[in-house]
Amino acid sequence: MPPRRLTRRSATSSFLPSLNATYNFNDRSLLRLAASQTVNRPEFREIANYSYYDFTNNANIKGNNKLRTAKIYNADLRYEFYPSKSELLSVGVFYKHFTGAIEQVTNSTNGSTLDLGFLNAASAYDVGVEVEARKGLVELTENPFLQHISFVLNASFIKSRVSLASGDDTSVDNNRPLQGQSPYVVNTGIFYQDDDRRWQVSAQYNVIGPRILFASSNKQNFSLFELPRHVIDLAVTKGFGPHLDVRVGIQDLLNQYTRQYYDSDRSGGISSADRGAFGRFRRGQYSTAGLTYKF
């Protein structure tokens, strides 16, 4: 069998302007404005015109040598307030417009196999709000233990929509979110740090909203959603003497199920009417223990 000939892609140049401006109201608060144009170029596996098997999802994946570079127009407005050197309260709004957004899609036309590929959407957008906060208790209490505790929060709430080309066979799913984009992301944590006694303890929590794992590419298949799962990570570090640190940790303490469902009613989300389960499995906990010796 003769070797497969790869299609040579012509070189492209991109103009990527950006603007960053800051206005300081005083020493503790400021306003940031940012605007930029960026690109998302296809990866080799996305444009390579051959099939390979994905053992994680039990799927056949084939690249698309007609993929175009996606253009992204970004705008961000953010207010930041610093009550102290170690504390922060930030609220921002952002908008992203995609031209030719690259999405991973399912090309399957029957239930026996899962065939995946890549396509350019005509356009898409993200619009959302982001809140970030860091707060310590040192100024709120005289208790020596509580003074070493601090909290961190980062949360984003996003709305995204995709517009497909007028000639696409996917018009039935033309009012869905962008593939891979969650409507919300929440990260929070509580931290205890005592430098004198060399204790560091942390508990962190993460959850992301339901997102499209693979988007529908024709009227014979459905978009595949991944549902939220709650993740908690714990870590403890204790120092002994001037050189030795002992650290133990547990990642994904809850070990909840990863749940994947087909959007069988094409509603742009998963409801009680969607009964087409694709996958349900646990990723497993990950525990670590280690010693660090500093010379």
Domain that holds residue 215: 18-293
Please name the helix (run of DSSP H) or strand (run of DSSP E) that holds residue 190, with its range, or none.
strand 184-194
Say what the pLDDT of residue 14 is.
84
* Per-position DSSP letters for 14-66, written without gaps between them: ----EEEEEEESSSSEEEEEEEEEEEEPPPHHHH--SEEEETTTTEEEE--TT
11 located within any domain = no
8 located within any domain = no
Q: pLDDT per residue over 166-214, tens digit each?
A: 554 544 566 789 999 999 999 999 999 999 999 999 999 999 999 999 9
Please state the rounded mean pLDDT for residues 280-289: 93
7 located within any domain = no
140 located within any domain = yes
Q: pLDDT per residue over 245-279, tens digit each?
A: 999 999 999 999 999 988 887 777 787 766 667 88
Distance of CA 257 to the CA centre of its chain: 18
Residues 78-87 as b/e (b if ≥16 CB within 10 A, e otherwise) read bebeeeeeeb
86 located within any domain = yes
- For the domain that residue 188 is a member of, what is the CATH number? 2.40.170.20
Q: pLDDT per residue over 105-146, tens digit each?
A: 988 755 567 889 999 999 999 999 999 999 999 888 889 999
32 located within any domain = yes
Q: Which residues contact 184 (CB under 8 A, 6 or more apart)?
A: 155, 156, 157, 158, 208, 209
Residues paired with 257 in a beta bridge: 282
Distance of CA 25 to the CA centre of its chain: 33
Q: pLDDT per residue over 215-248, tens digit each?
A: 988 777 888 899 999 999 999 999 998 889 999 9
Domain count, the chain: 1
Q: pLDDT per residue over 53-92, tens digit each?
A: 988 888 899 999 999 999 999 999 999 999 988 899 999 9
196 located within any domain = yes
CA distance 280 to 253: 18
